[in-house]
Amino acid sequence: MNNTLLVLTDFSDNAWSGIRYSAFLAEQFQWKLHILHTYTLSANLTFQDHFGEDMAEVQREERESKVDILLTNLTALHPHCNVTTACMQGDVADTVLNLLQENSYTFVVMGTAGASGLKKRTLGSNTLNMIKCCPLGIIAVPEQLEQSKLEKVGLLTNFKNNERTLLQSLTDRVPRSLDLLLMHVTEKDITAAPETITSLTTAFDDKLQLNSIKYIEKNAVYRLDYYMPIPRAIDWMIEKEGVDLLLVCYNRKSFFTRFISRNLPKYISNNLLIPTYFKSESFL
C-alpha cells in the first residue's frame, strides 16, 4: 500500500469539500493525494472526423486547465501536501476500478451531491454507484466541511458478523489507534440484550487495536407528537458523542439502506453530517 488517497472531482463545491477533507487527512497521517477527474465526450464528438477531433482536443485542454487551477488553489492552502493529478476520458466508475487494479490506494474519497430536487438531503447517484462497485469502499464527504480530524469513529451496528470486517478494513489503513462508538438504532422500544452488547464489544476489543469502545443506542419513533426516524436518530448519536467518521455497511436488505437510499427521501431528514465510510457487503 502506498498510503495514497484517490480523490474524485468534478470541480463542484461538493468535490472541493472532499478534496479539502482529504488534504487534512493527508497532513494528519502523512498520506499522498491523487486527484482524479474523469469526463465523457459529447455525443456529437464521437464521429471520426477532423472537426470532432479538434473539438475533443479543446475539451481535453479545458478539463486539464481546470485541474491545474484546482491544484494551484489546493497547494496554496496545503503547501506541504504531496499531490498528483490525472484527467482521464471515460466513465468514472470504470476508470476508478481500472486504477484500483493497477495501483494501491488507502481510500477512495468523494464529495457528496444530492439527487435532483433533494440537494443536501441524499447521496448523489455517482456516489451510490461507486459504493456498490468499489471494493475499497468510499469515504463520502458532506458539503461545507471546512476541517476535520480522525480520532473517533462511529460504527452503525445491527450485530452482524461482517461489521468487524468493515471496521478492520478501516483500522488496518489508519496508522493510529482510534476510539470506537458502536451505534445501534432500535425500533418499537426493543433494546439490545446486554449479553449481545457484551459479546460484540469483547469481539472488537480482542481483535482490533482500539483506544476505547463505547456502546450507544437510540430509539426511532414515528409518532405525530414526536418524530425521530432512523436518520435523525443517527444524527442525534453523532452530535451527542462527537463522532468524526461514520462507518456503514451497504446492504440492500438492511434497514441502513433507508439511510442512504435516494429512492426513499421520506427517510432522509438531514444532510450527511460528517464524513462517512461506506463499503458494500459484497466486498466484506
Residue 64 has pLDDT above 50, yes or no: yes
Distance of CA 182 to the CA centre of its chain: 18
225 class by beta-carbon count within 10 Å (0-12 exposed, 13-18 middle, 19+ buried): exposed
Note whether 4-141 and 152-283 share their fold: yes
Under the banding of pLDDT at 50, 70 and 90, the label for residue 269 is: very low
Higher per-residue pLDDT: 118 or 10: 10
- pTM of this structure: 0.87
Higher per-residue pLDDT: 238 or 142: 238
User: How many angstroms separate the first and last alpha carbons of the chain?
Assistant: 19
Q: Give the number of other CB atoms < 10 A from CB of residue 71.
A: 16
Residue 59 has pLDDT above 60, yes or no: yes
Write down the pLDDT at residue 265: 30
Residue 218 has pLDDT above 90, yes or no: yes
Write the pLDDT tens digit of every residue in 106-162: 999 998 854 333 344 345 677 778 888 999 989 989 877 767 889 999 998 989 888
In whole angstroms, give the CA distance from residue 191 to residue 217.
8
Mean pLDDT of the 87-113 span: 91
CATH superfamily of 4-141: HUPs (3.40.50.620)
Query: What sign does the dihedral 156-162-164-165 (CA atoms) show?
Result: negative
Write down the pLDDT at residue 114: 41
Write the pLDDT tens digit of every residue in 24-39: 999 999 999 999 999 8
Least confident span in 56-60, 69-73, 165-169, 173-177? 56-60
DSSP reduced 3-state for 225: coil
Percent above pLDDT 70 for the chain: 83
Least confident span in 66-80, 109-123, 266-280? 109-123
All three cell numbers of 214: 463505547
Write the pLDDT tens digit of every residue in 160-207: 888 999 999 999 999 999 999 999 999 888 899 999 999 989 888 887
Write down the pLDDT at residue 253: 60
What value does the mean pLDDT of the chain take? Answer: 84
Residue 2 has pLDDT above 90, yes or no: no
In whole angstroms, give the CA distance from residue 125 to residue 128.
5
Higher per-residue pLDDT: 31 or 280: 31
Q: Where are the domains of the chain?
A: 4-141, 152-283
How far is CA 158 from each of CA 28, 133, 231, 248, 249, rounded to the nearest angstrom? 31, 23, 15, 11, 10
Residue ranges with strand state E in the chain: 4-8, 32-39, 83-89, 107-111, 138-141, 152-156, 178-187, 210-222, 227-228, 245-250, 276-280
Percent above pLDDT 90 for the chain: 49
Nearest by Cα to 256 from 153, 160, 112, 172:
160
- Under 8 Å CB-to-CB from 30, ≥6 apart: which residues? 3
The answer to whether domain 152-283 has CATH 3.40.50.620 is yes
